[in-house]
A = this chain, B = another copy of it.
Amino acid sequence: MNIREKFDLLGIDNAPGQESLQKNMALDLRGEKLEGAAVDFSHGDVDAHKPTPGSLGVFVEGFLEGGPQAYTPYRGKKDILESVAADLAAFTGAPIDPASEIILTPGTQGALFLAMGANIMPGDRVAIVEPDYFANRKMVEFFGGEMVPVRMDYRSAETGSGIDLPALEKAFADGVKLFLFSNPNNPVGCIYSPEETAAIAKLAKKHDVTLIVDELYSRQVYPGVIHTHLRSLEEVPDSLITIMGPSKTESLSGYRLGAAFGTAEIIERMEKLQAIMALRCSGYNQAVFKTWFHEPEGWMAARVAEHKRIRDDILGVIDAVPGVSARPTDGGSYLFVEIPELEVSLHQFIRIVRELAGVTLTPGTEFGPQFLHQFRINFSQDHDNAVAAMRRVFEIMDRYRK
């Protein structure tokens, strides 16, 4: 394999946020455009759901602090590491040594990349879930790992994720070294049950598998659902990294802030990789971590409630359309919507919807090659615009039904 072939595997034309750069393709456009406010469901709308109050003020204070905030050690500034470690330890239910068990990164994407790069040698077997976050498979490919997909039957699971635990155990027994999964899951929004989480931890310990648990959305859990932080369990594997950040629920994505915490030996390797990747999470931006877990009283609960209302009303739209379904989100801002067979391909349909309805969707194939009848939406949008946009999507869809 040469470098061109290697990067051909890393296609990003359909990645969320890249749609404006897509090349023209001939589209089978049927009927008139539908009027309405354009909605980009590929990521959350930080204008509809504003960044945590005070983030800009804290950034400005960081800037004014000058040198020590501009040039921090690669892992992050000492006082910020201490404060974030204490908050994350309290939230996730297990201690974190700020001197050895945490690193601040350029977004949670940076944390994931460092964690994967610090664990994968070419040829290593790496298990990932299907469907799961679209970059997971690309990171495995980039670092030369051998991907072992594990199915998650989220459709038939009444609670939990529906991960195929026997398949996971077989993969572990067959020599998988690393298992990465998101909880809450992206794109489905399901949350692993306490039993599933415990089973994963136990299997990893038994087979000496390193775990990377992406808990980016774990502060946004809807009523009646229990989210279990794997790291809080009694029985955990020796090598365990958890990843979080304030980019989603807190709408601080424009600052690129992430954190990885867990096994000291892995954090040390991640620090070495960060030293050559980007040196550090942007210095001034690190100050914004001070707002994390310190939002005004009631702010977080209100934000979760707002998102539940949007979720429920979009599910109402979905339920009214024959042949369309989505599992209600347990946590986070995603819905993975299943549509019937159409007279155009999924990718064509998604471009048609953009053209005729002004709505941006992410194709299911970003989350696993078999998801040819699904698209993902991030419903962290203006409520009324989002509901109206979903109505337009299905009105367009009806023009292409088989």
Q: Which chain B residue has the least Cβ–Cβ distance from A178?
A: B3
A260 to B8, CA, bound (A): 21
Which of B47, B67, B106 contacts A256 (CB under 8 A)? Answer: B106
Cross-chain contact A3 with B73 (CB below 8 angstroms): no
Check A253/B118 contact, CB under 8 A, given A10-B273, A21-B73, A139-B276: no
B-binding segment of A185-193, A227-235, A278-286, A300-308: A278-286
Residues of chain A from 1 to 55 with CB closer than 8 A to chain B in the complex = 1-4, 6-7, 10-12, 15, 17-18, 20-21, 43, 45-47, 51
- Interface presence of A292 (CB below 8 A): no
Q: Name the B residues within 8 Å of A142 (CB-CB).
A: 117, 273, 276
User: Nearest Cβ in chain B — how far from A107, in angstroms?
Assistant: 6
Residues of chain A from 267 to 294 with CB closer than 8 A to chain B in the complex = 268-269, 271-273, 275-280, 282-285
Residues of chain A from 38 to 82 with CB closer than 8 A to chain B in the complex = 43, 45-47, 51, 56, 59-60, 62-63, 66-67, 69-74
Cross-chain contact B275 with A254 (CB below 8 angstroms): no
Cross-chain contact B12 with A272 (CB below 8 angstroms): yes
Cross-chain contact B73 with A18 (CB below 8 angstroms): yes
Cross-chain contact A110 with B278 (CB below 8 angstroms): yes
- Interface presence of A329 (CB below 8 A): no
Cross-chain contact B253 with A17 (CB below 8 angstroms): no
Q: Which chain B residue has the least Cβ–Cβ distance from A114?
A: B277
Check A71/B276 contact, CB under 8 A, given A2-B121, A106-B106, A118-B3: no
Number of copies: 2
Q: Name the B residues within 8 Å of A285 (CB-CB).
A: 256, 282, 285
Cross-chain contact B7 with A275 (CB below 8 angstroms): no
Q: Name the B residues within 8 Å of A109 (CB-CB).
A: 276-279
A51 to B271, CA, bound (A): 27
Check A1/B121 contact, CB under 8 A, given A47-B66, A253-B283: yes
A10 to B277, CA, bound (A): 12
Check A121/B253 contact, CB under 8 A, given A18-B73, A67-B46: no
Cross-chain contact B73 with A46 (CB below 8 angstroms): no
Cross-chain contact B21 with A47 (CB below 8 angstroms): no
A67 to B20, CA, bound (A): 15
Q: Name the B residues within 8 Å of A105 (CB-CB).
A: 278
Check A135/B256 contact, CB under 8 A, given A18-B73, A46-B70: no
Cross-chain contact B18 with A74 (CB below 8 angstroms): yes
Q: What's the dominant secondary structure at chain A's contact region?
A: helix
Cross-chain contact A12 with B74 (CB below 8 angstroms): yes
Cross-chain contact B107 with A3 (CB below 8 angstroms): no
Cross-chain contact B18 with A71 (CB below 8 angstroms): no
- Interface presence of A255 (CB below 8 A): yes
- Interface presence of A138 (CB below 8 A): yes
Chain A, 104-123, contact with B by CB distance < 8 Å: what is the 0/1 string?
01110110010001111110
A-B residue pairs, 8 tightest by C-beta: A70-B254, A254-B283, A256-B282, A106-B278, A10-B272, A47-B66, A254-B284, A7-B269
- What are 24 residue pairs bridging A and B, where the CB atoms are less than 8 Å apart in the complex? A3-B118, A4-B265, A7-B269, A10-B272, A10-B273, A10-B276, A12-B272, A15-B74, A18-B275, A47-B66, A51-B63, A59-B63, A63-B254, A105-B278, A107-B279, A110-B277, A122-B122, A142-B273, A254-B283, A255-B282, A255-B283, A255-B284, A256-B285, A278-B278
